[in-house]
């Protein structure tokens, strides 16, 4: 049995004043007010400021806020608050495509949380490390950690963390071709998120379901689910999630052979990722654009030049799975040329 979703990053009095679905403008207003109360209060409220700004795509403000929160927590001698600040910093680093730095901050967060006796902070830090490895495509290294975190979340009835773990494991199954398993896990995540009133987790799960349905050829149903998820993203101003939603819409249209529509959607997603400083999403959108333009008649030489540049970008960021996708598309083009 799962309890209603809650946001442990909203700490102290903010925990009772804010919910997992609070608007980020409300979060910023209440957290800024709370920062005036004490050094520890400043650290805890600073975490909320950092997370709200990160999710709004204001990366410079988020960077300042998590570092300010960490320094205040350090002055107060609170290891748990330090852990949460480091978790926020590691999550932001991953969002910005700085994966090695993300691992560094998240590992430090796990150590601080263990020292401070904060089980939830430690779980979030380990989850961040698992997600970083998954994004890189290092499934062998992080599958066991994902599954252990899922078991812990289920045991404690933590809906939000259960949804996160289910979605992460489902994504790995989807990427390795186990579509039935992936779909079942995304659907379970959507059900738990909806029951726990976790709008953000529900939107991410809907995107995962849409992805698998699209692979199976259910284009219109996939587009309907993405539209449903987009409503949530816009209502909560989830800028990053909205951009990824649009990139997925491009994927769905591309798979359906609707290349001109896909090109337009990928172009819009690319601008959204650039606006919030998210290089991983930017690079993935560029790959979608290259693929769409190739099918719309772009020359082989221009396509190969862009693929070579993107391959280097993926290598620099550390996105091994994305490089595999690029190599498969390159082989596909070469096969068409040979034929």
Mean pLDDT of 250-263: 98
> CA separation (Å) from 140 to 105, 131, 144, 166, 190?
22, 13, 8, 17, 26
pLDDT band at 5 (very low <50, low <70, confident <90, very high): low
pLDDT of the residue at 106: 96
Query: Do residues 62 and 53 touch, judged by C-beta distance below 8 A?
Result: yes
Residue-averaged pLDDT of the chain: 90
The pLDDT tens digits of the residues spanning 109-134 come to 999 999 999 998 998 899 899 999 99
Residue ranges of alpha helices (H) inside 77-178 are 79-95, 99-116, 119-136, 139-155, 159-175
Q: Considering the entire predicted model, what is its pTM?
A: 0.86
pLDDT of the residue at 237: 85
Report how far residue 39's alpha carbon sits from residue 3's, in angstroms, rounded to the nearest whole number. 31
The pLDDT tens digits of the residues spanning 39-94 come to 667 788 888 889 888 888 888 999 999 999 999 999 989 999 999 999 999 999 99
* Token pair listed for 147: 């599954």
pLDDT of the residue at 16: 66
- Residue 327 clears pLDDT 90, i.e. is over it: yes
The pLDDT tens digits of the residues spanning 151-208 come to 998 999 988 889 989 999 999 999 999 999 999 999 999 999 999 989 989 999 999 9
pLDDT of the residue at 30: 79
Between 33 and 72, where is the model more confident? 72
Query: Do residues 158 and 173 touch, judged by C-beta distance below 8 A?
Result: no
pLDDT of the residue at 339: 52
pLDDT band at 255 (very low <50, low <70, confident <90, very high): very high
pLDDT of the residue at 125: 92
pLDDT of the residue at 33: 74
Report how far residue 188's alpha carbon sits from residue 99's, in angstroms, rounded to the nearest whole number. 29
pLDDT of the residue at 40: 66
User: Could you tell me which of 241, 243, 294 has the C-alpha nearest to residue 265?
Assistant: 243
- Residue 326 clears pLDDT 60, i.e. is over it: yes
- Residue 335 clears pLDDT 80, i.e. is over it: no
pLDDT band at 8 (very low <50, low <70, confident <90, very high): confident
Report how far residue 299's alpha carbon sits from residue 26's, in angstroms, rounded to the nearest whole number. 49
């Amino acid at each position: 049995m799962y309890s209603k979703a809650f946001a442990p990053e909203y700490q102290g009095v903010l925990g009772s004043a804010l919910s997992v679905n609070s608007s980020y403008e409300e979060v910023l207003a209440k957290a800024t007010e709370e920062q005036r109360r004490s050094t520890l209060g400043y650290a805890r409220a600073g975490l909320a400021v950092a997370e709200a700004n990160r999710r709004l795509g204001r990366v410079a403000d988020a960077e300042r806020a998590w570092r300010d929160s960490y320094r205040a927590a350090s002055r107060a001698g609170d290891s748990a608050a330090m852990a949460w600040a480091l978790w926020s910093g590691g999550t932001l680093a991953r969002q910005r495509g700085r994966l090695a730095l993300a691992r560094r901050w998240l590992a430090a967060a796990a150590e601080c949380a263990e020292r401070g006796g904060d089980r939830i902070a430690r779980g979030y830090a380990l989850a961040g490390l698992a997600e970083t490895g998954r994004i890189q495509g290092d499934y062998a290294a992080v599958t066991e950690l994902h599954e252990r975190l899922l078991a812990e979340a289920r045991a404690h009835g933590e809906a939000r963390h259960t949804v996160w773990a289910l979605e992460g494991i489902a994504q790995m199954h989807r990427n390795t071709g186990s579509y039935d398993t992936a779909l079942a896990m995304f659907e379970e995540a959507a059900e738990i998120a909806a029951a726990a009133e976790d709008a953000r987790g529900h939107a991410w799960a809907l995107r995962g379901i849409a992805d698998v349905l699209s692979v199976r050829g259910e284009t219109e149903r996939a587009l309907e689910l993405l539209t449903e998820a987009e409503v949530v993203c816009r209502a909560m101003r989830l800028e990053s999630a909205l951009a990824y939603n649009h990139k997925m819409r491009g994927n769905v249209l591309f798979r359906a052979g609707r290349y001109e529509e896909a090109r337009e959607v990928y172009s819009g997603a690319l601008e959204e990722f650039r606006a919030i400083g998210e290089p991983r999403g930017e690079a993935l959108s560029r790959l979608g654009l290259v693929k769409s333009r190739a099918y719309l008649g772009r020359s082989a030489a221009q396509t190969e030049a862009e693929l070579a540049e993107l391959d280097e970008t993926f290598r620099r960021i550390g996105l091994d799975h994305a490089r595999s996708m690029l190599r498969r598309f390159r082989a596909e083009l070469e096969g068409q040329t040979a034929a």
